[in-house]
A and B are shown apart, each in its own frame.
Chain A
Amino acid sequence: MPFEEKMTWVNLVVTIAVPIWYFATMLGRLRTTAAADIAFQRPLIVAIVASVVLTVVGAIVMSIGTSVSAVARGRKPEDEIDRKDERDKTISRRGDLVGYYVASAGMVGVLVLTMLKAEYFWIAGALYLSFVVAMIVSSLVKLFAYHRGF
């Protein structure tokens, strides 16, 4: 598996796991508290920072695993980790483009919420959800391209 594909898996897992925690926490609070009174700021910041940190940790773990695997096979670790070729770049561009369209569609929804003067809680949630869905779709498009071809 190319290193770029491994990193796509890391991104996908992190992008699914962290928002699940955030939205589960928020939905739990929504049962007992009105949306306007929910302090969503701190959990949202924690979720965003956690995503970055977990992605970096995942990259480090993948790098170590790939290096060990490469050495065991008598290959240079840098040949496995640093080698990003034209196919990787094409797949990355394709995934990012689809993700951009999904995020853009989500922004329309956020815009509508703003026009309706929805609570900040809902606007922030919709904004975060748009980015999350865009990143998940982007990762899936990349993984599909790696396996199915294009």
Chain B
Amino acid sequence: MAKPTRVTNRIRALRFATGEMTQAELADRLGVTRQTVIAVEQGRYSPSLEMAFQIARVFDVPLDDVFGYAEEER
């Protein structure tokens, strides 16, 4: 069961928009394990700022287009 995190992401959508890039391909581009890509996608792991920038660079989009930070529930 995934632990909810307030960091949201659109990696899955961006992968499919980028020639249906697989998680393994993205992991290879980033130099991380496929499981880390899966964990980030599912919100089970918040990547470092550096990795976040690397992900954005792979998709050639600004950081804000990949990651978001959900508003705190009141």
Contacts and interface: CB of A to CB of B under 8 A. Distances in A.
A148 B45 CA distance: 9
5 contacts: A83-B33, A85-B31, A86-B32, A87-B45, A149-B5
Q: What's the interface size class on A, roughly?
A: 10 to 19
B71 to A, nearest CB: 21
Given A79-B28, A87-B39, 16 more contacts: A1-B35, A2-B33, A2-B36, A75-B24, A85-B30, A85-B32, A85-B36, A86-B32, A86-B51, A87-B35, A87-B45, A88-B33, A146-B35, A148-B44, A149-B5, A149-B42
Contacts of B30: 85
A41 to B, nearest CB: 42
A18 B51 CA distance: 39
Given A86-B48, A87-B39, A150 B3 contact: yes
A79 to B, nearest CB: 7
Interface in B23-47: 24, 28, 30-33, 35-36, 39, 42-45, 47
B17 interface: no
Interface of A: 1-3, 5, 75, 79, 83, 85-88, 146, 148-150
A20 B45 CA distance: 35
B70 interface: no
10 closest residue pairs by CB, A with B: A149-B44, A85-B32, A149-B3, A87-B36, A2-B33, A2-B35, A85-B36, A87-B45, A86-B48, A83-B33
A5 B35 CA distance: 10
